Amino acid sequence: MAQIFHRSTNTVARVSIYGAVVSLLVLSFVLYGLSASPYYTDVNQPKDQPVPFSHRHHAGELGIDCRYCHTSVEVSPFAGLPPTKTCMTCHSQIWTNSSMLEPVRSSYATGKSLEWVRVNALPDFVYFDHSIHIHKGVGCTTCHGPVGDMPLTWKANTLQMSWCLDCHRNPENYVRRREDVFKPLYEPPANQEELGAQLVREYNIPSPENCAHLKKCQLMTNCTTCHR
């Protein structure tokens, strides 16, 4: 019986299959790299705002406590945004003729809120509670970056699931003393691992070294903890 296909057909088929597999692997790596890049995550990309509010000036230089503006951060899932009257407690007395602050004065006069552009946002299917993290010693700068040195606010971390899980699996690398939680220029101490392990026990944070029972530890990485 005559041969239907040329002998090279087998080689072509093998090369095609291997090439397709390699192409899929390369495409996967490219897509993964893109998903972690600033182009997709907006990390380190300042947003245009109706007023160029500077955390560096207010929190870093003037030392205004985060809770002065973000009043609900200790008691609710949301940190909250300050109403215009909070801005005007100072700016009715200082920089009263600044053109840069005209939107603030207009908002106060009309009662129409400023439309801030959100910088840090999680998907609707992710549940995050600011208050529990605050009380467990997770500082503002852990998630929001060095806000006390930001002339304009930008997203400092991806806030992707892998980033969150790294903290949930290794809380001793991130927790700090509660009195340091709101420091806008906080730097971890040289003995962070030792201090963190101590605070994990003190604050009763579930970890492999501090588990009353397995179920409590699993809650730190259980899907339903954040996806409700």
pLDDT for the residue numbered 220: 87
Concatenated DSSP letters of 162-211? HHHHHHHH-GGGT---GGGTT-TT----TTHHHHHHHHHHHTT---TTS-
Are 70 and 180 in a shared domain? yes
Q: Tell me how far apart the alpha carbons of residues 196 and 97 are, in angstroms, rounded to a whole number.
A: 48
**What range defines the domain where residue 59 resides?**
55-81+120-226
Confidence of residue 8 (pLDDT cuts 50, 70, 90): confident
Nearest to 117 by CA among 65, 160, 53, 44: 53
And the tokens for 141? 């700068």
Q: What is the mean pLDDT of residues 150-171?
A: 94
Q: What is the pTM of this model?
A: 0.82
Q: What HEC string does 65-87 produce? A: CHHHHCCCCCCCCCCCCCCHHHH
- 40-55 b/e with 16+ CB inside 10 Å = b? ebbbeeeeeeeeebeb
28 or 48: whose pLDDT is higher? 48
Rounded to an integer, the average pLDDT of 191-212 is: 85
| 174 and 136 inside one domain | yes
Amino acid at 143: C
* Same-domain check for residues 100 and 160: no
Quick one: pLDDT band at residue 156, thresholds 50, 70, 90? Answer: very high
Residues 153 and 214 in one domain: yes
Query: Quick check: 159 pLDDT over 90?
Result: yes
2 falls within a domain: no
pLDDT band for position 1 (cuts 50, 70, 90): low
Per-residue confidence band for 29, with pLDDT thresholds at 50, 70 and 90: confident
135: in domain: yes
> Which pLDDT belongs to residue 5?
67
State the pLDDT at residue 116: 95
Per the structure, the count of domains in the chain is: 3
Residue % of the chain over a pLDDT of 70? 92
Whether pLDDT at 59 is above 90: yes
Per-residue model confidence (pLDDT) at position 13? 78
